[in-house]
Amino acid sequence: MEVVNPIVRRWQQEAADDHEGFWARAAEQIPWFRTWDQVFAWDPPGFRWFLGAETNLCYNALDYHVRRGWGGHAALIAENERGERRVLTYAQLLHEVERVAAALRGLGVRRGDRVGIYMPTCAEAIIAMLATARIGAIHLVVFAGFGSGALAQRLQLAGARVLLAADATWRKGRTVPLKPIVDAALDTLDGQVERVVVLRRTDDSAMQPGRDLDWDEFLALGAGQSAEHEVMEANEPAYILATSGTTASPKLAVHSHGTYQVGIRSTADWCFGMKPTDIWWSTSDIGWVVGHSFIVYAPLLVGCTTIAYEGALDHPGPETVYRIIEENRVTGIFTSPTAARMLMRYGTEPARAHDLSSVERVFCAGELLNPPAWEWLQKEVFQDRVPVLDHWWQTETGGPVVGNPYGLGMLPIKPGSAGVPLPGFALAVMTPEGERCGPDEPGIVVIERPFPGLTPTIWGDPERYANEYWRRIPGVYYTGDSGAIDEDGYVWFSGRADEIIKIAGHRIGTAEVESAFLRHPAVAEAGVTGRPDPVRGEVISAFIALKPGWQPTELLKSELLGTVRQELGPVAVIGELNFVSMLPKTRSGKIMRRVFRAVIADQDPGDVSTIEDEASVEEARAAWRRMRAEIKGGQGDGSAS
């Protein structure tokens, strides 16, 4: 059957026939201070787009709209679980951004400097992001749920000298202190971070004299300083953002002023059909790329109203989500399958009690949107009145790559598929050896050509960028996800090809978790994997081998969970912790995580001929059985929420 409408097919063909010309036409849709001398230059693995073009991401998100007479239109609605609400028009948001931009300059921040931001999804955090980009500095937002170890590591990798932080956030009615995490992180960095600006929300935050400033003191530094935007070449970085890697060290993906802007502005149109009259709500956090691209930058580039929400979506109850939709007359929603599964637990009654008639379309991403979750949203919550559409992308791509192109003309929905490659994005499925797979044949999803928005490097580590992305299967970009493309061109993702755990849409590398466990003096070896979880998508299953002289106890288990929480924050949810005498490893010493997964699923681990000691497989299986017995007996599972 014909599943691609003529417009989508024509756009895909135009992009295939003239890749550079296609993206040049897309780039003409955004304002430039100066247009490009050359569309594209590729010296594999490095590449650049729109060489010589000049722009500024913040200017196009704010100043451009104010100058065209859109200053009185609502730009940002910031809400939180405490019921507080703040609305800023484009003119008001620009004014606040200019104040912070001047203050950053007063603090000594200059073009190219890295500025850390450790704040929840609040108005000040978004203002700080925009102000940093405005002055040509580079922001690094760290999710305000990570622990001190993860915060310190990211600040160190970025070389940040300034940190903007909140002293607390709110989660399910509790005040969650953040300042102690900041202090613990900076204690390990030997003075690298010279100044800390603290958005004080409580009265008991300890401030370090000479280093820490409160928000008002910070703003006062802007007196006499310029708030003007910097003119940036299209390939100059606007921000860097950590994404998990297969080693213990996260990767800092780089996104630039011009190329990233073209990518997200185009896909906001093609994939989401975003328009200036939209009231847009992405339920993500600014600590993730979804928050960067579709809470902050793309909606503001389009000129619509974007909602930023801080707190738990189901606090004080599940009606919170539906109340926000009704009160703000939300037209477009971007959420995660995790959020959908969480709301499913409460049933449809809360949705029925609210007017959701303003909603025109719903998008999901962050992990696989399994058919039951899709069906619940599509048929029960929205009663088939609006489409619920899956799509796929990554931190590295900046914006959607695969989706159902709502803005160009919807295709038939295939539940469980992320959709088709969007125009301008050349996707293929290959074997690990680089052979192209046939229809429905599973393999590794790769990208065959760079596109605007694809990260051109890893901050400070171009060799790692080349090795992890362009050399695994030579000549193509290795996404790390496995999947298949059916005969109609729809892409079906089946999970990670490498060792990444996705918890409620948050990506955590196994090596990061194992490294956190190894910080405890009792741990000799640690191996972790993800196991399915009905709400979070995945949680962590851990297998721990202790050093001689240590014995497995409930107290030790609690200490180990606390160690991981301290390093990575509550996002690293441990589903269970099993003590074993050894880990299943290959003869070369590599941990065989597929054995863990087989044990957890109570399935045959398959060929174990390469395992160093096959007895460890049976021990892991026995540990799992013991853990299951403990759960059934009500003795606890060692989980962390």
Summarised one tens digit per residue, pLDDT across range 135-157 is 999 999 999 988 898 899 999 99
Within the chain, all domains assigned CATH 3.30.300.30 are found at: 504-632
* Residue 499, pLDDT score: 66
Q: Please say whether the beta carbons of 116 and 153 come within 8 A.
A: no
- DSSP tag of 591: B
Locate the DSSP E strands across 244-284.
Answer: 251-256, 279-282
Tell me the per-residue pLDDT of 148-194, one tens digit each, with 9 for 90 and over.
Answer: 988 999 999 999 999 999 999 999 999 999 999 999 999 999 999 99
- Residue 523 bridge partners (DSSP): 546
* Residue 248, pLDDT score: 54
Weakest mean pLDDT among 200-204, 555-559, 633-637: 633-637
SS3 367: coil
Residues 6+ away with beta carbon under 8 Å from 438: none
Split at pLDDT 50, 70, 90, the class of 620 is low
Tell me the per-residue pLDDT of 76-121, one tens digit each, with 9 for 90 and over.
Answer: 999 999 999 999 999 999 999 999 999 999 999 999 999 999 999 9
Has residue 641 got a pLDDT over 70?
no
Choice between 602 and 201, residue whose per-residue pLDDT is larger: 201
Weakest mean pLDDT among 234-248, 330-344, 465-479, 531-545: 234-248
Average pLDDT, the chain: 90
* Residue 253, pLDDT score: 97
SS3 411: coil
Has residue 3 got a pLDDT over 80?
no
Tell me the per-residue pLDDT of 358-369, one tens digit each, with 9 for 90 and over.
Answer: 999 999 998 778
Class of domain 504-632 (CATH, top level): alpha beta
Split at pLDDT 50, 70, 90, the class of 613 is low
Split at pLDDT 50, 70, 90, the class of 616 is low
Percent above pLDDT 90 for the chain:
73
Angle at 313 between CA 558 and CA 196, to 5 degrees: 70
Within the chain, all domains assigned CATH 3.40.50.12780 are found at: 6-470
* Residue 410, pLDDT score: 93
Split at pLDDT 50, 70, 90, the class of 225 is very high
The fold of the 6-470 domain, in CATH, is: Rossmann fold (3.40.50)
Provide, for the chain, the percentages of residues in helix, strand and coil under a 3-state DSSP scheme, each rounded to the nearest 5. Answer: 30, 25, 40
Task: Give the mean pLDDT of 45-54.
Answer: 97
Choice between 499 and 75, residue whose per-residue pLDDT is larger: 75
SS3 216: helix
Tell me the per-residue pLDDT of 246-296, one tens digit each, with 9 for 90 and over.
Answer: 445 789 999 999 999 999 999 999 999 999 999 999 999 999 999 999 999
* Residue 608, pLDDT score: 47
Split at pLDDT 50, 70, 90, the class of 68 is very high
Split at pLDDT 50, 70, 90, the class of 245 is low
Is the CA virtual torsion 129, 133, 135, 138 positive or negative?
Answer: positive
Task: Give the mean pLDDT of 633-638.
Answer: 41
Phi/psi-derived region of residue 98, left when phi > 0, alpha when psi is between -120 and 50, beta in every other case = alpha
* Residue 585, pLDDT score: 66
* Residue 78, pLDDT score: 98
* Residue 250, pLDDT score: 86
* Residue 136, pLDDT score: 98
* Residue 515, pLDDT score: 80
Work out the number of other CB atoms within 10 angstroms of the CB of residue 84.
12
Q: What token pair was written down for 625?
A: 């059985």
SS3 118: strand
Is the CA virtual torsion 50, 51, 53, 58 positive or negative?
Answer: positive
Split at pLDDT 50, 70, 90, the class of 601 is confident
Whether the link from the prior residue into 6 is cis, omega within 30° of 0, is no
Q: What token pair was written down for 565?
A: 């929480």
Residues 6+ away with beta carbon under 8 Å from 151: 118, 142, 181, 182, 185
Predicted structure pTM score: 0.85
Task: Give the mean pLDDT of 390-398.
Answer: 96
Q: Which of 174, 279, 172, 167 is nearest to 215 (CA)?
A: 167
* Whole-angstrom distance, CA of residue 325 vs CA of residue 361: 12
Choice between 336 and 608, residue whose per-residue pLDDT is larger: 336
Tell me the per-residue pLDDT of 553-599, one tens digit each, with 9 for 90 and over.
Answer: 999 999 999 999 998 998 899 998 989 887 876 544 557 777 787 77
